[in-house]
Structure 1
Amino acid sequence: MTLPAVTTLLLERAQGVLTITLNRPDVRNAMSLAMVEELRAVLRTSAADASIRALVLRGAGGHFCAGGDIKDMAGARARAQTDGEDAYRHLNRAFGALLEDAQNAPQVLIAVLEGAVLGGGFGLACVSDIAIAQSGAKFGLPETSLGIIPAQIAPFVVKRIGLTQTRRLALTAARFDGAEALRLGLVHFAEAEVEERLAQVLEQVRQCAPGANAATKALLLATENEPLNTLLDEAAGLFAAAVVGEEGVEGTMAFMQKRKPGWAV
């Protein structure tokens, strides 16, 4: 499947992995509305492409993402002269929609976090399935120090690290490094060099059936909203379908024959 044309991102596809690089290094990859729209378009396209098994999200120029683009805020301020608060509401809600899309992507979403991981960048880290931080990366929620609020990212941060820690970080705008991000449970790894860990994680992902991974991810996310009894009924149906499905049959046969299944490339 052909990926959409982009100007704020770099896209590289190899061995079932789509690497999406935020590419505005001159502003530490600050998230413009154009970048948000391009990311959503890439996620929509890749979601329908079964050959893409993992998404790697990272930033160019030594930084992940420094948050929202101040120029976009200025543009919204100009539009607000005629549109009122709706100009700001549209700009803010668009980023929340991106976070929803990223969280619900059927592929494994891996965030590689270097340099600035602030505001919206922090939010993107929180919707990843696996987060790998460079030890010296700088994390923070600076919104309140700017007189604004972390409106769209707040629910995702709470889900990731809990209400108590989110309150502390959001209400102090405190900065912290990769080691502290690991302690908080925001990231899964904090490394001096991230590439070796990324290669290891991708190798692990390739051992898992892509359809089973997608179904498992959806099931895990559903635990946040659905009643337990309903969820267990649905899960039983999903399990039955998986057992007799193509991946289930191949996985079982591979185990019996003491070989790798076809997807384990």
Structure 2
Amino acid sequence: MTLPACEYLQLEQRDHALFVTFNRPEVRNALSLAMVQELMSVLEAASTDTTLRAIILRGSGGHFCAGGDIRDMANARARLGKDDSDPFYALNRCFGQLLEMAEQAPQMIVCVLEGTVMGGGFGLACISDVALAHSEARFALPETSLGIPPAQIAPFVVKRIGLTQARRLALLGESLCGDEAARLGITHSVYSSTASLEEALANTLSRIKRCAPKANAITKQLMLAVGKTDLGVLLDDAARAFSDAIQGEEGVEGTTAFMQKRKPTWAAERESEA
């Protein structure tokens, strides 16, 4: 995989995982438009790499992400009226496109949540397949206190934790700790130290490598289609996907390995590398 050159993201591929670190610590990794576009380029490049099984999103300087960059909004205001375009619409919609792309990524998206997890950072946590948080992380949707709605984020928050809790968080702009975020289902687990958080990440990556990458990608597609596709059609599609998979390379290897009481090749690689 050829990764794009990035100014605001640090990229490092380790074995089957791509580590993407937001690198604007001076603004608690606030998402500028340029940063969003860089992340979309990375996701696009990764989408066709069948050897890549996980994308890890985290922030530098002890914070995950403080949300959108207010300076981008000021720049958009300066462009108002110069032509027929709506710079605020374009700015906001671009972040929604990022959330859609990240949610649909064939790889597992793992978020490591520390420090500030607000606005757009909150939205990224809500599209992750696995979210690991430090107990002292602070989660919030502060948009309404700024006079704006969490427009692109709100649908993903509702899908993650349900309408009742999403309304409370968005309409009050309340701040949550890591433990409360886990109770609501924003994050899956919480750790009281950086060391235990890093250990949990390593364990998660080990677990991911035990699962067949194509099977994981198909499973994500099926689950994300729930509620969007008629159930009968969805189950027909699922049956076809199952048939294709069990007759394919992964299915043959996985079922053969089970009968032979050995690990399949994608899992055995992990042990040989250890």
TM-score between the two structures when normalised by the length of structure 1: 0.98
C-alpha deviations, 1:9-43, integer Å up to 9, x for none? Answer: 00010111001001100000000000000000000
Aligned to 1:172: 172
Q: Matches of 2:24 and 2:224 in 1, distance apart?
A: 31
Given residue 215 of structure 1, which amino acid in structure 2 is its aligned partner?
A: I
Matched residue SS, 2:265: coil
Aligned to 1:158: 158
CA positional deviation for 1:82: 1.8
Aligned to 2:123: 123
Alignment of 1:92-241 (within 5 A): 92-193=92-193, 194-241=197-244
Please tell me whether residue 73 in structure 1 is matched to residue 73 in structure 2: yes
Q: Which runs of 5+ in 1 are unaligned?
A: none
Q: Matches of 2:6 and 2:249 in 1, distance apart?
A: 35
Q: Which runs of 5+ in 2 are unaligned?
A: none
Given residue 39 of structure 2, which amino acid in structure 1 is its aligned partner?
A: L
Matched residue SS, 2:10: strand
Q: How many residues align?
A: 265
CA positional deviation for 1:81: 3.6
Matched residue SS, 1:111: strand
Given residue 202 of structure 1, which amino acid in structure 2 is its aligned partner?
A: L
CA positional deviation for 1:84: 6.6
Segment of structure 1 superposing worse, 190-199 or 66-75: 190-199
Q: Matches of 2:80 and 2:134 in 1, distance apart?
A: 39
Alignment of 1:6-85 (within 5 A): 6-83=6-83
Q: After the TM superposition, which segments of 4 or more aligned residues of structure 1 sit over 4 Å from their partners? A: none
C-alpha deviations, 1:184-228, integer Å up to 9, x for none? Answer: 011100111310111111111110000000000111101130010
Q: Matches of 2:121 and 2:185 in 1, distance apart?
A: 16
CA positional deviation for 1:85: 7.0
Aligned to 1:253: 256
Segment of structure 1 superposing worse, 24-33 or 75-84: 75-84
Q: Matches of 2:118 and 2:148 in 1, distance apart?
A: 14
Q: Matches of 2:165 and 2:255 in 1, distance apart?
A: 43
Instruction: Describe the shift of the 1:66–1:207 C-alpha distance in structure 2 as closer, same or farther (beyond 3 A).
Output: same
CA positional deviation for 1:59: 0.5
Matched residue SS, 2:80: helix
C-alpha deviations, 1:105-147, integer Å up to 9, x for none? Answer: 0001000000000000000000000100110000000000011
Q: Matches of 2:10 and 2:41 in 1, distance apart?
A: 13
Q: CA RMSD in A?
A: 0.9
Sequence identity percentage? 61
Q: Matches of 1:190 and 1:228 in 2, distance apart?
A: 35
Q: Matches of 1:51 and 1:192 in 2, distance apart?
A: 33
Aligned to 1:3: 3
CA positional deviation for 1:83: 4.0
Instruction: Describe the shift of the 1:161–1:239 C-alpha distance in structure 2 as closer, same or farther (beyond 3 A).
Output: same
Q: Matches of 1:53 and 1:12 in 2, distance apart?
A: 14
Matched residue SS, 2:250: helix
